[in-house]
């Protein structure tokens, strides 16, 4: 099975690139399943229902969130009824929505998607390792799930590395989101789990992590906020990772970074 994971979609330019490029990528790469991190898709912070539906219409099978899950208040209302929208599993008990979901791929295979939120340099939250392990134990790879993809939303590459090794042999792919910078460390661990520290963002890289440069520079130089962050609107680069899984075990057989469009070097096509 071929699975594409795309990193954080940032603002209008990221959504436009998804709508324009994803349908042809699905065909060119013969993809069976697509996961997109959409936590910055609406004006750079959070995800509205309209923009969630745009990502689904473009070809996403599942959309994940992150630490900005509730920045668009309407998300609190519609997330409960959306099986294909996943927020961090280690949020407090009683939080709306779900942290894991089992969804059928185009080929009929069952894919479990789990998202966790890191704790290093992040706001206090429950343990992601135990929460993700419990979700996988309830739907094991090669038994109830034909593939398992874990989106780990983290600041520290050490934490995503730890999660990869913790789940090695029990997940198809462990991939980082949140930093908006694609890493080049994609590999298959000894137990057969694909790992990449950050998928990167789907947004304008002529920016500071997807934001026009003036206000971030001002805050670095002065420490005094003078305005809000505004998503950059130049041509986006779609960044992510493609894996192919073994039909019997569900483990990763190949892993390839993907970078298409915009100012970054192109990889994967």
Catalytic residue positions, numbered? 68
Among the listed residues 215, 175, 218, 219, the one whose alpha carbon sits nearest the alpha carbon of residue 193: 175
CA 183 to chain centre: 14
Strands in 100-104's sheet, in edge-to-edge order, are 100-104, 110-117, 147-153, 173-177, 194-196, 187-188
Q: Is 182 exposed, middle or buried (0-12, 13-18, 19+ CB in 10 A)?
A: buried
Question: What is the C-alpha separation between 116 and 243, in angstroms, rounded?
Answer: 20
DSSP bridge partners of 9: 202
Given its phi and psi angles, is residue 132 left (phi above 0), alpha (psi -120 to 50 degrees) or beta? alpha
Exposed, middle or buried: residue 163 (CB in 10 Å: 0-12, 13-18, 19+)? buried
C-alpha angle 36-38-39 in degrees, rounded to nearest 5:
140
């Amino acid at each position: 099975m071929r699975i594409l994971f795309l990193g954080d979609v940032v603002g209008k330019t990221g959504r436009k690139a998804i709508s324009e490029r994803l349908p042809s990528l699905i065909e060119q790469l013969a993809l069976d399943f697509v996961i997109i991190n959409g936590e910055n898709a609406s004006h750079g912070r959070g995800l509205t229902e309209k923009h969630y539906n745009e990502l689904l219409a473009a070809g996403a099978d599942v959309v994940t969130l992150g630490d900005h899950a509730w920045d668009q208040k309407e998300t609190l209302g519609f997330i409960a009824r959306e099986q294909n929208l996943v927020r961090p599993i280690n949020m407090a008990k009683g939080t709306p929505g779900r942290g894991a979901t089992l969804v059928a791929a185009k080929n009929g295979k069952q894919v479990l998607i789990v998202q966790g939120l890191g704790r290093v340099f992040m706001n206090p939250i429950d343990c992601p390792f135990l929460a993700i392990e419990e979700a996988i134990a309830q739907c094991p790879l090669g038994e109830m799930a034909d593939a398992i993809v874990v989106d780990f939303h983290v600041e520290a590459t050490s934490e995503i590395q730890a999660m990869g090794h913790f789940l090695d042999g029990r997940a198809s792919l462990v991939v980082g989101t949140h930093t908006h910078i694609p890493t080049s460390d994609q590999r298959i661990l000894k137990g057969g789990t694909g790992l990449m520290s950050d998928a990167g963002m789907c947004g304008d890289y002529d920016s500071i992590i997807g934001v026009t440069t003036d206000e971030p520079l001002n805050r670095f130089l002065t420490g005094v906020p003078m305005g809000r962050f505004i998503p950059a609107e130049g041509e986006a680069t779609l960044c992510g990772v493609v894996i192919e899984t073994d039909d019997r075990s569900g483990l990763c057989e190949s892993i390839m970074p993907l970078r298409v469009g915009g100012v970054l070097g192109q990889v994967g096509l």
